[in-house]
Amino acid sequence: MERSVFYISDGTAITAEALGHAVLSQFPIHTTTYTLPFVETPARAHEVCKQIDDIYQQTGTRPLVFYSIISTEVRQIIIQSKGFCQDIVQALVAPLQSELGINPIAVANRTHGLTESNLSKYDARIAAIEYTLAHDDGISLRNLEQAQVILLGVSRCGKTPTSLYLAMQFGICAANYPFTADDMDNLCLPAALKPFQHKLFGLTIDPERLIAIREERRENSRYASARQCRMEISEVEALFRRHQIRYLNTTNYSVEEISTKILDILGMSRRMF
């Protein structure tokens, strides 16, 4: 089954995408998605409405529309379209209003906008991203006392994307350090990392998956050979066990799942942005 899906918001549309995707993942359908942020004016809403209606006319099937819009006028235009429209925020606001006994105060862009109330959080997240970029792939081993987690592993096991996701999504200062082919003859924990063993977390991966990833980067190389990949993983996992470093096999997990598992295993607090 194929359906067109619209994520519409008067802000970034990140919330609409996240909630809509979470719901649709429960259904075995293929989707063509349209993400439309900053639908703030009636004129823009009419354009979006026409886009939805055109797809309905072409396919004969109602597009699925997930929206989060504060303006009543703009919202009314969207729901008059031929789409199957779902207000993802109001579905929860109404029962919460009843439970809390107070009326909500509708403010556009409150979730992801840069407001006075969340400015300090935003600054902290930017600082975390800058720190993580400066400490990616062993570029620098200075100021590791500022790191909240230090990821270890062989090349291409997911250290960099996980570090960046932790910084961008949760404001976590994450450093990462690679073990390379040159390290394997005498693999040991670098002296600069030893004082921070409580912050160390290892990532590993199935050899077959690592081979496939490295083949895309350097086809038919020693770097991507089955023998090299198996040897590196075996040596690094032995080092993790020897130093009692907690580690996770990333083979079957997305970067979102890897990051969340690390926070859970290390007992680290999540900060919402």
pLDDT band at 110 (very low <50, low <70, confident <90, very high): low
Q: Is the pLDDT of residue 202 over 50?
A: yes
* pTM higher than the cut 0.85: no
Q: Is the pLDDT of residue 176 over 50?
A: yes
pLDDT for 216-256, tens place per residue?
999 999 999 999 999 999 999 999 999 999 999 999 999 99
Q: What is the mean pLDDT of residues 42-47?
A: 98
pLDDT for 117-171, tens place per residue?
566 778 888 999 999 999 999 999 999 999 999 999 999 999 999 999 999 999 9
The CA distance from 115 to 232, in Å, is 47
Q: Is the pLDDT of residue 41 over 80?
A: yes
C-alpha closest to that of 266 among 166, 195, 189, 191 = 166
The CA distance from 231 to 215, in Å, is 16
Q: What is the mean pLDDT of residues 256-261?
A: 95
Between 110 and 193, the higher pLDDT residue: 193
Q: Domains, the chain, ranges and CATH?
A: 2-100 (3.40.50), 117-266 (3.40.50)
Confidence (pLDDT) at 119: 63
Handedness of CA 195, 201, 204, 210 (dihedral sign): negative
Q: What is the mean pLDDT of residues 78-84?
A: 97
pLDDT band at 109 (very low <50, low <70, confident <90, very high): low
Q: What is the mean pLDDT of residues 72-77?
A: 96
Q: Which two tokens stand for residue 228?
A: 């090299």
The CA distance from 198 to 30, in Å, is 44
90, burial (CB in 10 Å: exposed 0-12, middle 13-18, buried 19+): middle
Beta-carbon contacts of residue 89 (< 8 Å; ≥ 6 apart)? 15, 68
Q: What is the mean pLDDT of residues 40-51?
A: 97
Q: Which two tokens stand for residue 208?
A: 């077959």
Confidence (pLDDT) at 81: 98
Instruction: Please list, residue by residue across 163-179, b when 16 or more beta carbons sit within 10 angstroms of its beta carbon and e when fewer do.
Output: bbbbbbbbbbbbbbbbb
Confidence (pLDDT) at 26: 95
Q: Is the pLDDT of residue 197 over 80?
A: yes
The CA distance from 148 to 141, in Å, is 14
The CA distance from 52 to 73, in Å, is 18
Confidence (pLDDT) at 28: 95
Between 8 and 125, the higher pLDDT residue: 8
Confidence (pLDDT) at 248: 98
Confidence (pLDDT) at 114: 47
Confidence (pLDDT) at 256: 93
